[in-house]
Structure 1
C-alpha cells in the first residue's frame, strides 16, 4: 500500500534514473509486503500483523543506524524540525496501515490499491482547509474526474452487507493526512529521521494494543512475519530515496505500476480475477493523479 509522499528536501543534483529505479523498487516491495500481509490476515489479527510490521521496521532500521555509528546517528535523529510533528506523521501512517491490513483481509489487493490511488485527490482537497492552498479549476476538474473513477472502480455495493468496502477509504483518508503532515513537518528532515520516528510511533502505539489481539504464531509463519517487518522498512526507504533523487512529478507516476504487480500477485497467490470496471476506474484515477503530480496549475 503506497502513494507518493511529499518529498523531503531534494539532493543538490537530481538523479532521475536512480529516482525512477528507487520508485519501481518501492512499488514492487510494497506489493510483496501487502501480499504477505493478506496471507497472514487469513490466520491472524490485522492488529498483530501491524505490530509485526512496525516492530520489524524498527529492528531493521535500528541495526542500520547502529552501523552508521553513534555520532552520525545522533546528528540525524536530533536534526528534525518538529518531533511532535514527526510522531503525528507516524500515528497517521499507523492508522493508514491498520485500515489497509483490515481491508486486505476482506478485499482483493487490486481493489484496495485502486481506492488508495485516490489519495492525491484527497490531498488536493484537504490542503485547501488545512494548508490554505488554492485549487485551480483545472485541478478541481481532475479531482472530480478521479472520484468518478473511484465510483466506477467500486461498482454497485450494498454497504450494509459489505461494510469492509469502506475500509480502503479510511486508509486513503489517513494516508492523505500523513502526506499533508509530511509536507508540514517533515519536508526538510533527513529521510532516515523521518523513517525512524514514523516507525517508532507505530511500534509504540501498536505495542500497547497488540496484547488484546494476540494469538500464538505458528513456527512456519515466523519467517513471513519477519519478512513483513523487513519489507515495511525497505519499501518506505525506497519511496523516500526516490523523492530525494528526482522530482516527485517525474517519479510518482511509476508507482502506479503497482496495479500490474497487484494484478499478478492477486491472481497467482489468491486467485483473484479483477473486474473490467476496476480497470476502467483505475484509468480515470491514475490519469487524474498523474495530472495533479505533473501540473502546477
Structure 2
C-alpha cells in the first residue's frame, strides 16, 4: 500500500508517459500485495506476514545489488544520514504492521480510503516538524479531505470494533515516513532509500517473528513468496515512476488503487462498500490531488 508522494518539480529528461505507466503498475501491485496479505492474515499472524514481506524485499533487492557488483553496491550504500534512513525504515515497518493488522479485520477499500488521507497529514505535520508554511487554500483542502475521512468511515462504535482505529495508526506512520524521506532521503539514491527501508523492517520483523510463528502449510507457501516478491517490486515501481516524472504529474494516478481495491475486495472477499465510502473517497482524493499539484 502506498500514498501519493509529495510535490517535486519537473527535471530535464523526464519521461512522463513512462512515469505514468510505472505509477499505474505500482497501484495495481500494491493492491495485489495487500490482497495476498489479507488472505494470509486469516490463518497467520500479521507479524509473520510482515516478516515475509520484508524478507522478500531484501532477497530481491539483495540479488539485484549483488548483480550490480561490489563497487556500485558500496557506492549505493552510502547515505548522508544513516540514523535518518533507519528512522524511515522503522516508520515504514510501523505503517506496514498497522496496515496488516487492519487488513485482517477490515475491508480492503476502507483501509485504502483512510490511507489516502496521509498527504493531508503530511501537510499538517510539516508545519511543526519542517517549519513549512501552509497557505489558506492548502489548509482548506486539508479540512475538506478530513471531512471526507469522517464521511467514509461513518459512525463507528470504537469499543465494539477497535480494529477500525488501526488504519489511522498506519496513516500516521506513513505521513511521518514521507516527512523523514523529505528530510533525510532527499539527496540519497532511490535504491539507497529502498535498501535501508527494507533492511530496518527485515531486521525488526526477524527479531520478533519467532514469538508469532505458525508453521507454514505447503499450499500457502506460494502466497508467502508472492507477498515477499510484490513487496519489493511494488516499491521499485513507485521509485521508477518518481524518477521518470515529477510527483505532481504521476501521483494522482496512484489513486487508481481505489478501483483495484473495490474490484479485488468484491471478487476475493465479497465486500460491497457503502456509498458513503465512495463519497468520502472523492473528497479525500480531490484534496490530495489539489495538494499534489499546487505549490500555494
Instruction: Output the TM-score relative to the length of structure 1.
Output: 0.98
Q: Which residue of 2 aligns with 1:26?
A: 26
Q: Matched residues in 1 for 2:61 and 2:11: separation?
A: 21
Q: Matched residues in 2 for 1:10 and 1:182: separation?
A: 19
Q: Which residue of 1 aligns with 2:55?
A: 55
Q: Counterparts of 1:8-19 in structure 2 under 5 Å?
A: 12-19=12-19
Is 1:36 the counterpart of 2:23? The answer is no
Q: Secondary structure at the match of 2:122?
A: helix
- Specify every segment of 5 or more residues in structure 2 that has no aligned partner in the other structure, as ranges: none
Encode CA deviations 1:173-220: one digit per residue, 9 max, x unaligned: 000000000000001211111111100000001111111111110011
Q: Which residue of 2 aligns with 1:45?
A: 45
Per the TM alignment, residue 222 of structure 1 is displaced from its structure 2 partner at its CA by 0.8
Q: Matched residues in 1 for 2:11 and 2:239: separation?
A: 12
Per the TM alignment, residue 4 of structure 1 is displaced from its structure 2 partner at its CA by 2.4
Shift in alpha-carbon separation, 1:189–1:120, aligned structure 2, 3 A: same
Q: Secondary structure at the match of 1:42?
A: coil
Q: Counterparts of 1:1-297 in structure 2 under 5 Å?
A: 1-6=1-6, 12-78=12-78, 80-297=79-296
Q: Matched residues in 2 for 1:12 and 1:131: separation?
A: 27
Aligned residues: 296
Per the TM alignment, residue 23 of structure 1 is displaced from its structure 2 partner at its CA by 0.4
Q: Matched residues in 1 for 2:225 and 2:186: separation?
A: 30
Per the TM alignment, residue 7 of structure 1 is displaced from its structure 2 partner at its CA by 7.3
Per the TM alignment, residue 38 of structure 1 is displaced from its structure 2 partner at its CA by 0.2
Shift in alpha-carbon separation, 1:23–1:229, aligned structure 2, 3 A: same
Contact 1:9 1:187 in 2 (8 A): no
Shift in alpha-carbon separation, 1:125–1:109, aligned structure 2, 3 A: same
Q: Secondary structure at the match of 2:134?
A: coil
Contact 1:4 1:239 in 2 (8 A): no
Per the TM alignment, residue 66 of structure 1 is displaced from its structure 2 partner at its CA by 0.8
Q: Matched residues in 2 for 1:100 and 1:154: separation?
A: 16
Per the TM alignment, residue 9 of structure 1 is displaced from its structure 2 partner at its CA by 9.5
Q: Matched residues in 1 for 2:51 and 2:290: separation?
A: 36
Per the TM alignment, residue 280 of structure 1 is displaced from its structure 2 partner at its CA by 0.2
Q: Secondary structure at the match of 2:54?
A: helix
Q: Matched residues in 1 for 2:252 and 2:60: separation?
A: 28
Contact 2:8 2:248 in 1 (8 A): no
- Specify every segment of 5 or more residues in structure 1 that has no aligned partner in the other structure, as ranges: none
Instruction: Output the TM-score relative to the length of structure 2.
Output: 0.98
Q: Matched residues in 2 for 1:263 and 1:184: separation?
A: 34
Shift in alpha-carbon separation, 1:90–1:133, aligned structure 2, 3 A: same
Q: Matched residues in 1 for 2:8 and 2:40: separation?
A: 33
Shift in alpha-carbon separation, 1:14–1:61, aligned structure 2, 3 A: same
